[in-house]
Amino acid sequence: MRALVFQDVKQLGCESIADAAIVDPGDAVVQVRLAAVCGSDLHIYRGHEAGIDAGTAMGHEFVGEVVAVGKDVERIRVGDQVLAPFTTSCGDCFYCRGGLTARCERGQLFGWVEQGEGLHGGQAEAIRVPMADSTLERLPDGVPVETALLAGDVLSTGCFGAERAGAGPGATIAVIGCGPVGLMAVFSAVRLGAARVFAIDTVPERLEQARELGAEPVDFAAASPPEVLRQATHGRGADGVVEAVGTPQATRGAVDLVRPGGTIAAVGVHNEPQFALSPGEAYDKNLTYVAGRCSARHYMDRVIPWLRDGVDLGGIFSHRLSLEEGVHAYRIFDEKLEGCTKVLLKP
């Protein structure tokens, strides 16, 4: 089968690899209908996350049709149209029972094979999905398929971030970074009832999308976000900040925006060894800082009902390309060329 594989830093290739197949009795094989490229794939592509084997199929955002199941699979059937969260989960361990499916004792991340162990990704013609019964969900009726795909990662992650930042009636929320995750955090914060949502970035088309989703855009190259937030909040700052970038600069931005007693919810993936805020700053502002991988399997169930009333978030995709065009897709998403906000790949 064809797959977009990691070869080296900033070097991918569309290659033929071994067909996805049932290995364990709980597995399913999904023929991929649509796959998306995520900001998290860029950490691998840019070499900020190291250890992945050359030859690994990239990606963890996909929807498709189940074409085979192992003998222990009961709930999911051949022919089902399914969506997947970006990690597998058993649904039954200590963490899964508590809703922390991202930390399932048996969970694995799609698109990460290291020293021969792990899972290939969904930017391929097909993908093997372990623990299929507890990992996969059937595509919801009446939801556009491109929108449903977003529930497997960036929409769930946006909701996770917005909720943990305290988005709710009366709250003023700032979202740092208007990539797909930040945009879905804006959508979620509005949905959760936040009074005002400010969205910070410099890329014009991304700021415009944030505005369309209900945020007040702030181009930090042209205006000072802390100043804008202070003016909006009687000098206090944001009640909660969703940091959806994953750099020390973004953490610094969050510290400067949040009010005393507020919360920073970091959903950006960080690879640096130390916090960009000091214990003294955290103390002096009575800060709450929360971080981590979204439990997308858990949050999917929370966000899918939001989509049933005709919401179409497909506008977040600026490009729809073939798998064979995947190398180009990464380049334009990485370098923000051609107005690229997010890419769908159709195998």
| Residue 40 or 123 with smaller CB distance to Zn ion | 40
Minimum gap (Å) between residue 72 Cβ and ligand NAD: 28
For ligand NAD, which residue of 44, 57, 244, 287 counts as binding (CB under 6 A)?
A: 244
Which helix (H) or strand (E) element contains residue 239? strand 238-243
DSSP summary character for residue 4: E
Binding mask 280-319 for ligand NAD (x = CB under 6 A): -------------xx-------------------------
DSSP summary character for residue 171: -
End-to-end CA distance of the chain: 10
Q: Residue 96 binds which entry of Zn ion, ligand NAD, none, with Cβ cut-offs from 5 to 8 Å by kind?
A: Zn ion
148 binds Zn ion (CB under 5 A): no
Q: Measure the CA–CA gap between 162 and 154, rounded to whole angstroms.
A: 12
Minimum gap (Å) between residue 183 Cβ and ligand NAD: 7
Binding mask 172-211 for ligand NAD (x = CB under 6 A): ----xxxxxxx-----------------xxxx--x-----
Q: What angle do CA 202, 208, 214 make, to 5 degrees?
A: 115
For ligand NAD, which residue of 30, 38, 139, 162 counts as binding (CB under 6 A)?
A: 38
DSSP summary character for residue 325: G
DSSP 198-235: EEEES-HHHHHHHHHTT-EEEETTTS-HHHHHHHHTTT
130 binds ligand NAD (CB under 6 A): no
For ligand NAD, which residue of 245, 287, 300, 323 counts as binding (CB under 6 A)?
A: 245
DSSP summary character for residue 24: S
For Zn ion, which residue of 29, 104, 155, 245 counts as binding (CB under 5 A)?
A: 104
96 binds Zn ion (CB under 5 A): yes
Cα 192 off chain centre by: 18
For ligand NAD, which residue of 253, 262, 326, 347 counts as binding (CB under 6 A)?
A: 253
Q: Measure the CA–CA gap between 126 and 98, rounded to whole angstroms.
A: 31
Q: Measure the CA–CA gap between 245 and 269, rounded to whole angstroms.
A: 7
Cβ count within 10 A of residue 133: 17
- The answer to whether 241 touches 189, Cβ cutoff 8 Å, is no
Chain position whose Cβ is nearest to Zn ion: 38
Q: Measure the CA–CA gap between 313 and 96, rounded to whole angstroms.
A: 28
Phi, psi at 290, each rounded to 5°: -120, 150
Cβ count within 10 A of residue 332: 18
Strands 238-243 and 172-176 come out as parallel
| Residue 258 or 269 with smaller CB distance to ligand NAD | 269
For ligand NAD, which residue of 40, 56, 101, 172 counts as binding (CB under 6 A)?
A: 40
38 binds Zn ion (CB under 5 A): yes
Which helix (H) or strand (E) element contains residue 255? helix 248-257
For Zn ion, which residue of 12, 27, 40, 160 counts as binding (CB under 5 A)?
A: 40
Give the residue carrying structure tokens 């996350």.
49
Give the residue carrying structure tokens 């497909």.
314
| Residue 215 or 267 with smaller CB distance to ligand NAD | 267
Q: Residue 184 binds which entry of ligand NAD, Zn ion, none, with Cβ cut-offs from 5 to 8 Å by kind?
A: none
Minimum gap (Å) between residue 92 Cβ and Zn ion: 6
- Judged by CB under 5 A, the stretch of 90-98, 305-313, 316-324, 333-341 that binds Zn ion is 90-98
Q: Residue 269 binds which entry of ligand NAD, Zn ion, none, with Cβ cut-offs from 5 to 8 Å by kind?
A: ligand NAD
Minimum gap (Å) between residue 115 Cβ and ligand NAD: 23
| Positions that interact with ligand NAD (CB under 6 A) | 38-40, 42-43, 153-154, 157, 176-182, 200-203, 206, 220, 244-247, 249-250, 253, 267-269, 293-294
| Positions that interact with Zn ion (CB under 5 A) | 38, 40, 89-90, 93, 96, 104, 153
